[in-house]
Chains A and B, each alone.
Chain A
Amino acid sequence: MSTLRITATAIAMALGLSVGVFAAESQNTLRPNLGQAITPGDLAPWDISVMPDGTGLPPGSGTAVQGAPIFQAKCAACHGENGKGGEAAMVTAGPPRATLDGGKTIANFWPYATTIFDFVRRAMPANAPKSLTDQEVYALTAYLLSLNKLIGETDTIDAKTLPAVKMPNVNNFIIRFPERI
């Protein structure tokens, strides 16, 4: 690439063009520039990332009471009755602390409640991912938070309340190589 740029600059100078102007132009001329423009509306169906501050959460809401029957119908086959675990991980509160012997849970390890919504919406249930409505994902998120005793059974989870859920382990993380960020 650098060889190409040097050559292009030399040509520009030979043609008597301003190198400064050419440098700006070269951004476009040395690449095929085949990326097609897309509007935010057209990419919205794929724009599903939910951030820890709640950015990206859709409209809707749910409670643990609403989530329990959905869990029973669509999740318990793998995650066990009441989330006690099965072929897939348990999703209850579990031990007070995770160790190298295991036991990472939402209550004792997950730092952000928003991650539950983001992951369930994109990946669950494993045999039919992306089949849940946003309303169902909110209800399941509330159910999981309630199983982990982080909210009450009738507390409403929505775009405003989800990022505000207090996660006990949030301050126990150390960035391994901060100089690489």
Chain B
Amino acid sequence: MAGKQPTRTAQEPEIVAGNGLLHRRALLGSGVMLAGAAAAGIGATSAAAEPLKDGPWSLRWGQVLPAYQVPSRFEQHVVRSLDNPTNILRNSRARTPHHLLKGIITPNGLAFTICHGGVPDIDPAQHKLVIHGLVRRPLVFTLDSLERYPMVSRIGFVECGGNSAPLFSNEPLQENVQAIHGLAFCSEWSGVLLSTLLEEAGVDPKAKWMIAEGADNSLLSRSVPVAKAMDDAMIALYQNGERIQPGNGYPMRLWLPGYEGNMNVKYLRRIKLTEEPGMTYYESRTYSQILPDGKAYRFYFLQEVKSFITSPSPGLTMAGGPGVYEITGIAYSGTGRITKVLVSADGGQSWGEAALQDPVVPKAFTRFRMPWRWNGGPATLQSRAFDEGGNMQPTRAQFVAHRGQTTRPPSVLGFPSQHFNAITSWQVQANGSVRHVYA
């Protein structure tokens, strides 16, 4: 806020890119700048306010305080979308409604969940974690015993390797940000560093991998390099301060910051140290990504630098007409911190730098904001993130040239491939509605 403040005589905010993108400084001195814009006749569609009166809630005693509170009854539309609501014998997914959320921490009730056999109902008093294989002392830990260990708390995201898979479609599917990007969320995780437990067990130097296994009905198992286990892996017990939700791994899960969601084994019950990877179902088949030449990637691990705009986005109509709006969204990278997010309102022809909301945490959601004066005409919005590893989010055209796309539009619930991290484009129409496009 130091330095020159805009003055009331500076009526026009500085344009930084095509189609009305304003300098992010407009957000800092927003009162002056946006007032200036309004004075210039932009957003002048608002009608005069009605005379004020008390609502009924101001005239009577309120309700009893619930022991565990839930959102207002007026927020019942802010829920996860379910692709298996009757719980038939197949995978179930519940997607996060990013278009209705702000900030960087996903509320626990809205954190995305994927289960391969329903949500297990685990009694924490009977749950055990075994560490064995290439260790000096095979050990068993209970939840109570882990509570005694030194803990750490870190903010970070979990993203399904298949998040954003609808963008592998050869034609843009008319879906919203929840359907397209809803398999990612960000929490504050508290738990015990896995390295602490591995040191207690005494890892044989020959061990290069560990097979992590859950206690769910399919005993989901994945191979993880010991290098990651010793670096920043956590046995997470708490999610945003409270015990982990059943859909997210209660009573304990493996958390591998920045790595493919499926590797972050929920309901963790066993870690076996090995020389070689297990080539489990999920790594040798499901999370191996087919390439156009018929080969396939294996052990992708990393959720690479990515961003998407959450507002405006499909389903959020810009009903107010032309005027000043905030474009906002989420950026994150499994490599580390987000260093920059660019925003375009003209389909990538010109770019302006968005403001990054503090805190900017490595391997966590970073909220970006960009002031925009919409002139009421068509506008194609894009965001492009950069991380501290020097990585830049690719365009969709660049990405599919390497990774391929379908030959016909798939179901929005399908997963043609995984690890899609290219740019998403939302087209604002003259009527204020927003469409998904490729640009």
Contact = CB atoms under 8 A, between A and B. Distances in A.
A150 B211 CA distance: 28
Contacts of A99: 290, 404, 407
Contacts, number: 179
Contacts of B137: 35, 37
Interface in B266-289: 269-270, 272, 274, 276, 278-281, 284-285, 288
A100 B405 contact: yes
Interface in A17-42: 27, 31-40
Contacts of A27: 199
A119 B217 contact: no
A31 to B, nearest CB: 6
B302 A49 contact: no
A48 B90 CA distance: 23
A47 B132 contact: yes
Interface string A1-28: 1001000000000000000000000010
A176 B269 contact: no
Contacts of A1: 150, 193
Interface stretch (B4-12, B220-228, B312-320, B364-372): B220-228
B272 A47 contact: yes
Contacts of A49: 211, 213, 221, 272, 274, 278
Contact of B88 (A87, A97, A118, A130): A87
B339 to A, nearest CB: 20
A141 interface: no
Contacts of A129: 117, 217-219
B291 to A, nearest CB: 8
Nearest to B259: A180
B102 interface: no
Contacts of A177: 299-302
A160 B291 CA distance: 33
B40 interface: no
Interface stretch (A62-70, A132-140, A151-159, A167-175): A167-175
A78 interface: yes
Contacts of B295: 172-174
B225 A35 contact: no
A27 B202 CA distance: 10
Most buried by A among B168, B211, B294: B294
Interface residues of A, number: 54
A46 B270 contact: yes
Interface string B63-80: 000000000000000000
A122 interface: yes
A40 to B, nearest CB: 7
A38 B132 contact: yes
A150 B237 CA distance: 44
Contacts of B299: 175-177, 180-181
Contacts of A87: 88-90
B196 interface: yes
Contacts of B88: 87
A16 B290 CA distance: 62
A126 B217 contact: yes
A147 B255 CA distance: 38
B100 interface: no
B145 interface: yes
B42 interface: no
Contacts of A37: 137-140
B284 A126 contact: no
A32 B140 CA distance: 14
B280 A180 contact: no
A51 interface: yes
Contact of B406 (A98, A101, A180): A101
Contact of A101 (B199, B225, B294, B407): B407
Contacts of A176: 297-302
B417 interface: yes
B94 to A, nearest CB: 19
Given A126-B117, A175-B298, A38 B284 contact: no
A79 B138 CA distance: 39
Contacts of B410: 101-102
B131 interface: yes
Nearest to B200: A35
B288 A173 contact: yes
Contacts of A52: 276, 278-279
Contacts of A38: 130, 132, 138-140
Interface of A: 1, 4, 27, 31-40, 43, 46-53, 78, 87-88, 97-102, 104, 109-112, 114-115, 118-119, 122-123, 126-127, 129-130, 172-177, 180-181
28 contacts: A27-B199, A32-B149, A33-B200, A34-B146, A36-B140, A36-B145, A37-B138, A39-B138, A46-B130, A51-B274, A101-B410, A109-B285, A110-B285, A111-B284, A112-B279, A123-B217, A123-B219, A172-B295, A173-B297, A174-B295, A174-B296, A174-B297, A174-B298, A176-B301, A176-B302, A177-B299, A180-B225, A180-B228
Given A43-B140, A46-B269, 19 more contacts: A1-B193, A4-B150, A31-B149, A31-B199, A35-B137, A36-B145, A37-B140, A38-B132, A51-B274, A88-B90, A99-B404, A118-B221, A122-B219, A123-B219, A173-B296, A180-B299, A180-B302, A181-B227, A181-B299
